[in-house]
Amino acid sequence: QKEVEQNSGPLSVPEGAIASLNCTYSDRGSQSFFWYRQYSGKSPELIMFIYSNGDKEDGRFTAQLNKASQYVSLLIRDSQPSDSATYLCAVNLRSNTGKLIFGQGTTLQVKP
Amino acid sequence: AAGVIQSPRHLIKEKRETATLKCYPIPRHDTVYWYQQGPGQDPQFLISFYEKMQSDKGSIPDRFSAQQFSDYHSELNMSSLELGDSALYFCASSLSGINNEQFFGPGTRLTVL
């Protein structure tokens, strides 16, 4: 079992819809959680981070964390074709060195 | 805002050659991380440095070494290159602390022929 798991997709949504991306992690002691967006051949771009249970909103993005269920999600409202990319969930485990463990990423396709 | 700088952006090497990748972190960031991303794979942590000292080590081959210099830039040295080393190599930087966000550089695409 991978430490961080995501459905690889592709997840296809129509333009203007809400895209829901999910991620589970195995280490209950994980401290912090990050969502990165990566276009093909480019570097990961930080979108959201969340440390506490509950929701965190930033513009069209909402991150949700449930530590009891070891589950983190990213909602993208009013999806745009430019949101089409791979979304990587990354987890900072209980260590104090900051290294990130990534999921395999979910490919999102937003269709006009 | 200043971002992480990596050089070179592209590198082509023959098997058994050596390569050096450079990373310049965001100003005032004291921690540097190196990740390797193979085709169709997620980034894999290689090694990290905090205040010029190695802070963690991941799945980095013994053929690879890295260091962080007094100006906080970091170099990843790769020797006896193999075909399987062909990948994107990303450097990320952050302020110290477990909850601090990591910002990635544009990456170096290494091709080993």
* CB burial of residue A41 (10 Å; 0-12, 13-18, 19+): exposed
Beta strands in chain B (DSSP E): 5-7, 10-13, 19-24, 31-37, 44-50, 53-57, 64-68, 74-78, 87-94, 103-104, 108-112
State pLDDT tens for residues A8-36: 889 999 999 999 999 999 998 888 999 99
Q: Which pLDDT belongs to residue A96?
A: 64
Mean pLDDT of B81-103: 91
Chain-chain contact of B102 with A34 (C-beta, under 8 angstroms): yes
Among residues 8-27 of chain B, which lie with CB inside 8 Å of chain A? none
Which residues of chain B make contact with A33, given a CB cutoff of 8 A?
A: none
Q: How confident is the model at residue A108 (pLDDT cuts 50, 70, 90)?
A: very high
Mean pLDDT of B4-22: 98
Which residues of chain A make contact with B94, given a CB cutoff of 8 A?
A: 98
Which residues of chain B make contact with A41, given a CB cutoff of 8 A?
A: 88, 109
CA proximity to B46, closest of A30, A79, A97, A42: A97
Q: Which pLDDT belongs to residue B106?
A: 98
- Answer whether B103 touches A (CB < 8 Å): yes
Q: Which pLDDT belongs to residue B98?
A: 61
State pLDDT tens for residues A27-71: 988 889 999 999 999 999 999 999 999 999 999 999 999 999 999
Task: Provide, rounded to the nearest whole percent, the portion of chain B with pLDDT above 70.
Answer: 97
Mean pLDDT of B41-67: 94
* Mutate: best of A52, A97, A104, partner B, most B CBs <10 A: A97
CA proximity to A3, closest of A24, A26, A23: A26
State pLDDT tens for residues A85-94: 999 999 987 6
Q: Are B105 and B21 in contact (CB under 8 A)?
A: no
- Answer whether B48 touches A (CB < 8 Å): yes
Which residues of chain B make contact with A40, given a CB cutoff of 8 A?
A: none
pLDDT of B29 strictly over 70? yes
Chain-chain contact of A44 with B90 (C-beta, under 8 angstroms): yes
Using CA coordinates, name the residue in chain B closest to A46: B103
Q: How confident is the model at residue A97 (pLDDT cuts 50, 70, 90)?
A: confident
State pLDDT tens for residues B67-88: 999 999 999 999 999 999 999 9
Chain-chain contact of A31 with B98 (C-beta, under 8 angstroms): yes
Q: How confident is the model at residue A100 (pLDDT cuts 50, 70, 90)?
A: very high
- Answer whether B77 touches A (CB < 8 Å): no
